[in-house]
């Protein structure tokens, strides 16, 4: 059995699709007929009780959710593809740190901006929730910007799936921060020969 990825265009599943392509492992892409920022069908709870994508069905039939966890798992399954540094190394520790940081601080801010009703029960606070989310995301991006030294990628000159994850976040950022190293990182990721067609399908020229 190969992998099966449940996703929808323009969603966070982009980075999992890109990671699967980088592994060269066979997988089936199930693209849901649903627009980003709209609720998924209630029936999708049968696939993921949290009713979110991406969802990756592993070759043994078990289910994985949570983007950062999926990326870390795929990197471990395909060590010869260099999706991440070798476990136990200082560089792997850095990879884990910033992958989780991206999940907790950038992705969470995106979700608060796109789905503010999940984070407040006060209808008068919807716009304030969105605004605070983008401000917090900008602060997190400033921290990441300083971590990229010398670049162009998070781990020097080698692209990891953490870079692909971060690049995706920049597509959704609507604030005023314009960190040059992160912008360079995003441009390098979207120009990667394997990732470029996937990027265009999900995000166009963003």
Can you tell me the distance from the alpha carbon of 164 to that of 191, in angstroms, rounded to the nearest whole number? 11
Can you tell me the distance from the alpha carbon of 10 to that of 65, in angstroms, rounded to the nearest whole number? 17
Q: How is residue 117 annotated by DSSP?
A: G
Q: Is residue 205 part of a domain?
A: no
**Boundary of a domain, candidates 81, 98, 116:** 81
Nearest to 102 by CA among 38, 170, 158: 170
**pLDDT for 116-126, tens place per residue?**
999 999 999 99
Q: Residues 131, 193: contact at Cβ < 8 Å?
A: no
101 and 57 part of one domain = no
| CATH, residue 52 | 3.40.30.10
**Tokens at residue 145, please?**
């910007």
pLDDT in tens, the chain (206 residues): 799 999 999 999 999 999 999 999 999 999 999 999 899 999 999 999 999 999 999 999 999 999 999 999 999 999 999 999 999 999 999 999 999 999 999 999 999 999 999 999 999 999 999 999 999 999 999 999 999 999 999 999 999 999 999 999 999 999 999 999 999 999 999 999 999 999 999 999 99
126 and 184 part of one domain = yes
User: What residue has token string 């020097």?
Assistant: 156
**Boundary of a domain, candidates 60, 81, 102:** 81
Radius of gyration, CA atoms only, the chain:
17
Give the predicted TM-score (pTM) of the model: 0.97
User: Where in the sequence is the domain holding 57, given as residue range(s)?
Assistant: 3-81
């Amino acid at each position: 059995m190969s992998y099966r990825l449940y996703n929808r265009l323009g969603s966070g599943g982009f980075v999992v699709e890109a990671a699967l392509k980088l592994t060269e492992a066979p997988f089936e892409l199930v693209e849901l007929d649903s627009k980003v920022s709209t609720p998924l069908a209630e029936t999708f709870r049968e696939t993921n009780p949290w009713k979110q994508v991406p969802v990756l069905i592993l070759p043994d039939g078990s289910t994985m959710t949570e983007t950062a966890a999926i990326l870390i798992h795929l990197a471990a399954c395909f060590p010869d593809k260099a999706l991440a540094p070798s476990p136990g190394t200082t560089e792997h520790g850095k990879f884990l740190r910033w992958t989780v940081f991206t999940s907790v601080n950038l992705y969470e801010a995106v979700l608060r901006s796109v789905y503010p009703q999940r984070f407040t029960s006060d209808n008068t606070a919807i716009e304030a929730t969105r605004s605070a989310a983008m401000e917090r995301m900008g602060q997190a991006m400033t921290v990441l910007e300083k971590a990229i030294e010398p670049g162009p990628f998070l781990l020097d000159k080698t692209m990891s799936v953490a870079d692909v994850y971060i690049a995706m976040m920049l597509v959704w950022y609507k604030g005023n921060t314009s960190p040059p190293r992160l912008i360079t990182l995003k441009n390098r990721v979207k120009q990667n020969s394997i990732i470029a067609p996937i990027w265009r399908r999900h995000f166009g020229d963003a």
